[in-house]
Amino acid sequence: MTLTFEDFPPGHFGTFGPRRVTREEILAFAAEFDPQPMHLDEEAAKRTMLKGLSASGWHLCSIMMRMMCDGYIGRTASLGSPGVNEVRWLAPLRPGDDITLDVEVTEARVSRSRPETGIVTFRSVVRNAAGQALCEMISPIIVARRAGVAAE
Amino acid sequence: MRFFEDIEIGQRRELGSFTFTADGIKKFAAQFDPQRFHLDEEEGRKSLFGGLAASGWHVGSVCMKLLVADGQRQAQEALARGEKIAIWGPSPGFRELRWIKPVLAGDTISFASEVESKRASEKRPEWGILQARNTGTNQRGELVFSLLATAFVPRRRGNP
């Protein structure tokens, strides 16, 4: 059953994970996209503000995207996203962390320009196993409305 | 990289360009964003994007890649001049990320970064906080990507 706009009323939507993030994947992402010492080099990372090896923030956002895809976007009539309102990187993602994603719908409205679609805005918070929030993301996606409703 | 004191509002740096290949788009999408329009040409053509489109997180990650490479170039230049290198800190986040137009297979995106504001950190006197608008423009001159990034930048004072 494909999820449509009507399946995203404001309120808590779901919790997804846990997913383990390995040292190998942190290093591989950093080597390709964000080769700063704090994401690549254990010893150099200890001397940075983050006090140890941590994943690139872009890696964490990309993992959040994957968790959203596996959790619900993969079975949603999603038409893509216009952007991200805000991302806050709150604490470092460490090798071996098991992360959990909490998703809340903060707003759902029908598109004025394309009334057969709606815009659903999510507030997503990813936490480590200790419950510490690592990243908060406020982001909309465009979702098709259930067939027929636009004609009403 | 430059120190907080050396950075002026409005300073713009061209970060270089990157060509998104179909293989690269699919590889990133398979790992992080397996939606049909990021994985398959035909599905992309049928979507709002009108072709195989890069994940927005792929575009943002490539912007980061070019920012880091530009910082490394600046560090090498500073080292060659016998100057001290400023090592930038982590970013507390970003705002106003806009995927303005799709980035399709074969597109070449040129990225740039322009300083919008800077202020001293209240909690960390050895750091300043910089806001920069990072943008990506395709080969037709169309703005496709924009975000307002924030980063900790070291101050000369306190970093002898």
For B130-154, write each residue's pLDDT tens digit. 999 999 999 999 999 999 999 999 9
- CB contact (8 A) between residue A88 and residue B93: yes
Which fold is adopted by the domain B4-154? Thiol Ester Dehydrase; Chain A (3.10.129)
Which fold is adopted by the domain A5-151? Thiol Ester Dehydrase; Chain A (3.10.129)
Interatomic CA distance for residues B73 and B71, integer angstroms: 5
Q: Mind telling me how many Å the CA of A12 is from chain B's nearest CA? A: 23
Domain ranges of chain B: 4-154
List Cβ neighbours of A64 (8 Å cut-off, separation of 6 or more).
A101, A124, A126, A135, A137
Tell me: pLDDT of B160 over 50. Answer: no
Kindly report, residue by residue over A79-96, the tens digit of the pLDDT: 999 999 999 999 999 999
| pLDDT-based confidence at residue A149 (cuts at 50, 70, 90) | low
CA geometry: angle A123, A129, A131, nearest 5 deg:
50
- CB contact (8 A) between residue B33 and residue A65: yes
Tokens 């560090």 sit at which residue? Answer: B75
* Average pLDDT value for residue range A106-124: 96
B10 reaches A (C-beta below 8 A): no
Kindly report, residue by residue over B76-135, the tens digit of the pLDDT: 998 999 988 888 888 999 999 999 999 999 999 999 999 999 999 888 888 999 999 999
pLDDT at B147 (0 to 100): 98
